[in-house]
Structure 1
Amino acid sequence: MDKRFGMFIHFGPVTLRGTEIGWSRNKEVPEADYDSLYREFNPVLFDADQWVKTAKDAGMKYLVITAKHHDGFLLWPSAVSAYNVSRTPFKKDMVGLLAKACKKQGISFCIYMTVLDWHDPDYPIHSPHDTLHNVKGNMPRFVNTMKNELTELITRYKPDMLWFDGYWEKPWTNAYGHEIYQHIKKLDARIIVNNRLGKESEKLNENSLGDFLTPEQRIGNINMLEPWESCITICNQWAWKPNDQMKSLKECIQTLVKTAGGNGNLLFNVGPMMDGRIEQRQVDRLNEMGNWLTKYGRAIYGTKGGPYVPNDVYAATRKGNFIFIHVFKPLDVLKLPALNGAKVKNVNIFGGKALKFTQTEGLQIMMPNKLPDDNCTVVTIEIDGDAEKLPVIRQ
């Protein structure tokens, strides 16, 4: 959780159509066409080092690649399933190249893996868009295939985390989830697993599986008890889409800050183009986020969220005896609730001049006429105790 910021990558042969990975099969793209795209898949400009450098320059500390999405295509050369990258014109082991690049550049390498596969005849459902079931499906055999695929992924590439998805369909059960979880831990006990391996996905309790919660396309609520990570797209679609609308720099930065302010991580998704490059406009936007983090990273990495609940005006993070208030809009006076007995010693613009304040009715900070950063300005509050021990203050 100290890493706070990671890169999600959705990629596969579907980029040749510019539609959503997995979900467009049997919808925008006919099944026969979709399942044949691998024959043309040749991302000749794919550069694992460049992808990882883009993540690193953005201030991201880990990377998650869709090694296998719901369409069943594998981005690694597998001895288990023939429907994999080795049968494409490209042929190269994309998962292996990314694992190597991450290790070289000091980024934690992680893998996305589906628990459903609409392409595999052993899985009883072949499309999310109808109710057709394959009566010849064989879930025990499907789960065994999944175990063998995971064995390849874990032993070859040694991921730090496995990010599962697809738990909602009826054929997948908690019992299968436990079976897979135990298989993973036997192979490598240190691997972190998200909460989507089991059917219970809203809480971490005795009925759930996994180590952290995963709110999707929204910023999670402040939660000081359970680790969580919001997965959100930089544009709208997970996989690459031509002319997809991209989030502004202000929205990107404030999404990261509000997530950290709620005590969560942000897994920010890019979808590389069909030639293997991440769009330059996305690279530029991520680099701008990295520039902001170069200056303000101390108020994000290794912090805890709170004590104030994030809102449209500000979010807060804390570390040691410091509280960092991330201000989103110009204010004459920043008004904050009282800190439950803690005494404020100093207030400063992050890395800059002191600000006047009063503690008579809550905490009131006199703000400068112009904020140093229009996207998010950080104010540092030093208190006379451990800020991390303060209870969450709900306005």
Structure 2
Amino acid sequence: MKQIYLWASALCLALTAPLTANAQLQLVNESVVNAENEPAPVHPVPAPRQLKWQRTEFYAFFHYGMNTYTGNEWGYGNEDENKFAPTAAPNPEQWLTAVKAAGMKGGIAVVKHHDGFCLWPTATTTHNVTSSSNAYAKATNIPRDFAAAAKKLGMKYGFYVSPWDRNNEHYGDDTYVKDVFLRQCAELAAYGTDQFEMWFDGANGGDGYYGGKGGKRNIDRSTYYDVPNLRDTVHKVCPDCVLWGVGGESRWIGNEEGWAGETNWSPEEYLYAPEKNGMYGNMDGWYWQPGESDAKMTTGGWFWHSGEGQLGAERLFQMYLETVGRNATLILNCPPDKSGSLPAATVERLKEMGKMLTERLQGTNYAKEATVTANETRSAGTGRNFNAENVCNGDSATYWATNDGVNKGTITFAWDEAKPIRYVVLQEHIQLGQRVKAFSIETSNDGTSWTKRGGNIATTTIGYKRIIPLNGSTSNSYEANPQKVKYLRVNILDSRACPTIENIELR
């Protein structure tokens, strides 16, 4: 028995020896892979297309279609196609030129709303522009012209196509999804491979014309629209196109008033119903679902209405601070009128907004003039470092970080002469996940006595971008005579893992 035991023990050692060697080799490989000493990601993390989408930050919504001429917000689906009667050729280039002046980087054109009327010559339904007797209508192809204008102006573009169709008799059965909705998405994807977003709204159904059958049809959007196939259909043609809403790649911020929560996480618990917690996200969520805030710049509805006015530039700037400045994107609605162009008053207000944005947030960045230090810095890798200066070098591939296990730290900016600072812009390196849970901003004129800034604003999350007015007000953020400071420090007070700060601007 003893001989058998010794033989078996020797066999076990022989079998495990190579495994031990392989395990040791694997450990060596892992250290080589992380030779740069980069922090491990905190999941979930954004897909490349989601990161590109968030960097767009501020873009336009153009609600234009049958409702522009009927005066409705939601058409029933039984509208006579002849009612779509532009008084001039619709001009998407004019739309995009106007919003570019406001500082926007792109736009989303509504090409099919819930009434099912399509603003392009689709093969899926006769309820489209070609069925109108109006000469301008017959020549209309908004997806074609919008994409061409965006490319000409160097802007991003995408389309809103309602999954809900109050006109189509097959809505609610499998035939509609396969033969109508997915085909419409494929047609729109073909208008440009570089689209950045496709919008899916009104996806739960309701009452409608439905080819004359009427009634109410409700569906379960999490299964009805065949989302995996929808994603494949679009992404095969447009690899960088984020699918909003039903597509599950970005979420509705939860209101239509141009604000996100001061605490706003990009992770989200829900994939297809994120609006339950839209303003705030969920730190423990499984899905990367960054928020998008949709808001109107006019006093009427989403579509143009006679007699409506425009919100003031200061109010629009406040929306910017409370969305882009709170880890969300802002999609601002600018409705064309019956001529198919933006009204002159809208164009003028957009210019005012652009001037305000440029003067307040794109002028001198005092961070670049400062001596920058940190009380904790991550050990450098073989070819990179994580020094404090990385937060103001303009390179999104570099960042400041602390060592593993150190979830707090302070970055300090100092000048020989006091600087007039109104806004602090903070950005995490979100390729590695959203981390910061609490931070504070303080200023000093002697480097010894410090004053907390930002008023009662909740300095909790940062995410892709956070903008803090030092005076603590988003509605009256720009002071003509701000207090000048010689020292400013950003304290990371708590983080899910070592903080990774990519960019700090002091404006």
Q: TM-score, normalised by structure 2?
A: 0.56
Letter in 1 for 2:100: K
Q: Matches of 1:272 and 1:67 in 2, distance apart?
A: 13
Three-state SS of the structure 1 residue aligned to 2:157 is strand
Three-state SS of the structure 2 residue aligned to 1:216 is coil
Which structure 2 residues correspond to residues 356-395 of structure 1 after superposition, within 5 A? 357=445, 360=449, 362-363=451-452, 376-377=478-479, 389=500
Q: Does 1:349 align with 2:413?
A: no
Residue of structure 2 in register with 1:232 after alignment:
295
Distance 1:364 1:40, change over 3 A: closer
Superposition deviation, residue 350 in structure 1: 5.2
Three-state SS of the structure 2 residue aligned to 1:187 is coil
Indicate which of 62, 65, 87 corresponds to 1:12.
Answer: 65
The count of corresponding residues between Structure 1 and Structure 2 is: 318
Distance 1:167 1:364, change over 3 A: closer
* CA offsets 1:68-94 (integer angstroms, 9 cap, x no match): 111101111112222112223222212
Q: Matches of 1:140 and 1:214 in 2, distance apart?
A: 32
Q: Matches of 1:87 and 1:357 in 2, distance apart?
A: 70
Distance 1:9 1:294, change over 3 A: same
Which structure 2 residues correspond to residues 39-188 of structure 1 after superposition, within 5 A? 39-88=83-132, 89=134, 90=136, 91=138, 92-124=140-172, 138-158=173-193, 159-169=195-205, 170-175=218-223, 176-188=226-238
Superposition deviation, residue 375 in structure 1: 6.5
Q: Matches of 1:76 and 1:10 in 2, distance apart?
A: 15
Superposition deviation, residue 8 in structure 1: 0.3
Letter in 2 for 1:64: I
Whose Rg is larger?
Answer: 2
**8 Å contact from structure 2 (residues 98, 350) kept in 1:** yes
Q: Matches of 2:201 and 2:352 in 1, distance apart?
A: 30
**8 Å contact from structure 1 (residues 321, 386) kept in 2:** no
Residue of structure 1 in register with 2:241 after alignment:
191
**8 Å contact from structure 1 (residues 86, 93) kept in 2:** no
Superposition deviation, residue 256 in structure 1: 0.7
Distance 1:75 1:297, change over 3 A: farther
Indicate which of 195, 215, 222 corresponds to 2:254.
Answer: 215
Residue of structure 2 in register with 1:287 after alignment:
351
Three-state SS of the structure 2 residue aligned to 1:156 is coil
Residue of structure 1 in register with 2:274 after alignment:
none
Letter in 1 for 2:152: K
Q: What are the ranges of 5 or more consecutive residues in structure 2 without an aligned counterpart?
A: 1-53, 206-217, 268-289, 364-389, 394-407, 424-442, 455-468, 493-498, 502-507
Letter in 2 for 1:230: S
Q: Matches of 2:253 and 2:174 in 1, distance apart?
A: 26
Q: Matches of 1:232 and 1:66 in 2, distance apart?
A: 15
Superposition deviation, residue 40 in structure 1: 4.5
Q: Matches of 1:19 and 1:45 in 2, distance apart?
A: 21
Superposition deviation, residue 173 in structure 1: 2.8
